[in-house]
Amino acid sequence: MKVAVLGASTSKFGELWSLSPRVLLKEVVTEALNSSHLKLGEIDAIFVGNMLSGILGGQEHLGAFVAEELGVTIPAFKIEGACASGGLAVHAGVTSILSTLYKKVLVVGIEKMTDHKPEDTTSALMGAGSDEERTSGATFPSLYALIARAHMEKYGTTEEQMAQVSVKNHYHASLNGKAQFTFPITVDQVLKSPLIASPLKLLDCSPVSDGAAAIVLSSENEITQKIKPVWITASALATDTLGLAQRKDLTSLSSAQKAAQKAYKQSGLKPEDIDVAEVHDCFSIAEIIAMEDLGFFPRGLAAKNIALGKTRLGNKLVVNTSGGLKASGHPVGATGVKQIVEITNQLRGVAGKKQVKDAQIGLTHNVGGTGATAVIHILRN
Ligand code: COA
């Protein structure tokens, strides 16, 4: 598979109270088009990743909303898959090009979460869970806390090791001017931060965020000499039960494992070929499990290796150079698109202070809910 990423842009993530969705959209689309050397008139279709705009903002029909804002009348789609909405929108854009129906498409991810009461945002996010989880009052921090307890029980994973994930991601975010939190933290600060859902503390959790990201995709046949593309060489997804109670095992996400296997097969690449990855660390335990599901470390050994600093900048495999969801922020519908933006910048060598030396192959791992959807992309030069 070969689909070109020609342009990529992300807004700053964070509490962006003064920026409306329209302003955020305009910013990232303009920048993505400029970096692709294309004009809006050359785009055949728009795919928009978003989860909460209807329930929180009262605005549905987001495909037409984005087309209207850009002043075009081309086909436009909203794609929803909880926190994997952005990754799903990228997958939809990629498959539309592979179908040959469209030649050049724009993929946008956008979410505004912080303009609302925290309890409303938390309830809206639970739309991604099972009805049983919702009616029993579960929240995503509490569901990932159950996953963390299962992993601790089976593999001896410790709270200190989970804290190391956040410490690494805050360090990477301190090199990323577009991250929500650009301050470094220590293990002690994580362990002493307020308890959210035992064993997860405030600094084990991704925050509630606003933000947008956009990419321009093109079919291989449309490439001109103006720009050297980064290639999407695998785009794979898999699903699982919405609820945790229906799963046999809580210590891995079978959707992520299946999607990763498909992606490695599509690309002909192996876990050891990956130089840089953006993974879905919505909670610190999620990054540990992602490392195991993606085959980067054997089961039960990821926490130890992360704690040893094996996935920090300067190593063979670097994970979450943007700061991940934890520190870069997690505007849910934008996250999967932002992950592609970060890997594209890494492979182009324009990632600034957080640049991974000579990065040639990158991977993104975007998860919806507690793993009911998982989307994996592999990109290469
Ligand atoms: N990491 C670091 N700092 C955080 C933070 C986080 N995850 N979340 C909030 N903060 C900071 C705020 O910036 C604020 O700092 P300030 O006092 O210096 O301004 C302070 O902590 C309190 O913020 P507040 O918004 O009142 O926190 P909260 O208690 O309402 O929310 C969580 C904290 C963890 C419950 C919330 O961020 C959350 O729900 N996260 C998970 C989101 C989620 O489930 N996403 C989907 C994943 S599947």
Q: Note the pLDDT tens digit of each residue in 53-78.
A: 999 999 999 999 999 999 999 999 99
- CA 153 to each of CA 148, 150, 302, 308: distance values in angstroms, whole numbers, following the listed order: 9, 5, 15, 21
State the distance from the centre of ligand 1 to the C-alpha of 324, rounded, in angstroms. 15
The average pLDDT across 329-345 equals 98
CA-proximal residue: ligand 1, atom 22 (nearest): 202
82 lines ligand 1 (CB under 6 A): no
84 lines ligand 1 (CB under 6 A): no
* CATH architecture of the domain with residue range 3-117+209-222: 3-Layer(aba) Sandwich (3.40)
**Whether pLDDT at 227 is above 90:** no
Break the chain into its structural domains and give their ranges. 3-117+209-222, 133-207+233-380
Residue 276 contacts by C-beta under 8 Å, 6 or more apart in sequence? 317, 318, 319, 321, 343, 346, 347, 356, 359, 361, 362, 363
202 lines ligand 1 (CB under 6 A): yes
Average pLDDT, the chain: 97
E strand map for the chain: 3-10, 45-49, 76-79, 104-111, 195-197, 200-201, 211-219, 230-239, 276-278, 318-319, 361-368, 373-380
**Whether pLDDT at 203 is above 90:** yes
Q: What pLDDT was estimated at residue 223?
A: 87
Query: How confident is residue 224, by pLDDT bands cut at 50, 70 and 90?
Result: confident
3-class SS at 88? helix
Which of 121, 202, 328 most suits a substitution to test ligand 1, by most atoms within 8 Å of the C-beta? Answer: 202
**280-293 per-position pLDDT tens digit:** 999 999 999 999 99
Are 51 and 332 within 8 A, CB to CB? yes
**Whether pLDDT at 95 is above 90:** yes
Which of 196, 205, 279 most suits a substitution to test ligand 1, by most atoms within 8 Å of the C-beta? Answer: 205
Q: Which CATH number among 3.40.630.10, 1.10.40.30, 3.40.47.10, 3.40.50.2300 corresponds to the domain 133-207+233-380?
A: 3.40.47.10
230 lines ligand 1 (CB under 6 A): no
Residue with tokens 């990629």, as numbered in its chain: 94
Q: What span, in angstroms and rounded, lies between the C-alpha atoms of 213 and 311?
A: 25
The Cα diameter of the chain in Å comes to 57
What atom of ligand 1 comes closest to residue 283's alpha carbon?
A: 47
pTM check: above 0.95: yes
**143-200 per-position pLDDT tens digit:** 999 999 999 999 999 999 999 999 999 999 999 999 999 999 999 999 999 999 999 9
Residue 15 contacts by C-beta under 8 Å, 6 or more apart in sequence? 114, 180, 209, 210
171 lines ligand 1 (CB under 6 A): no
**Whether pLDDT at 226 is above 80:** no
**Whether pLDDT at 298 is above 90:** yes
Residue 141 contacts by C-beta under 8 Å, 6 or more apart in sequence? 196, 197, 200, 205, 283
Query: What does 139-165 look like in DSSP terms, one character per residue?
Result: -HHHHHHHHHHHHHHHH---HHHHHHH
124 lines ligand 1 (CB under 6 A): no
Q: What pLDDT was estimated at residue 276?
A: 98
State the distance from the centre of ligand 1 to the C-alpha of 204, rounded, in angstroms. 10
Query: How confident is residue 222, by pLDDT bands cut at 50, 70 and 90?
Result: confident
**111-150 per-position pLDDT tens digit:** 999 999 999 999 999 999 999 999 999 999 999 999 999 9
State the distance from the centre of ligand 1 to the C-alpha of 118, rounded, in angstroms. 9
The average pLDDT across 201-213 equals 98
State the distance from the centre of ligand 1 to the C-alpha of 169, rounded, in angstroms. 16
324 lines ligand 1 (CB under 6 A): no
**19-63 per-position pLDDT tens digit:** 999 999 999 999 999 999 999 999 999 999 999 999 999 999 999
State the distance from the centre of ligand 1 to the C-alpha of 202, rounded, in angstroms. 7
Q: What pLDDT was estimated at residue 275?
A: 98
Are 6 and 37 within 8 A, CB to CB? yes
Active site residues: 83, 330
Q: Which long-range contacts (CB under 8 A, 24 or more apart) does 54-62 make?
A: 55/124, 55/127, 56/112, 56/113, 56/115, 56/116, 56/120, 56/121, 56/124, 57/21, 57/112, 57/115, 59/21, 62/110
The average pLDDT across 78-91 equals 98
Tell me phi and psi for residue 343, to 5 degrees: -70, -40
**Whether pLDDT at 225 is above 80:** no
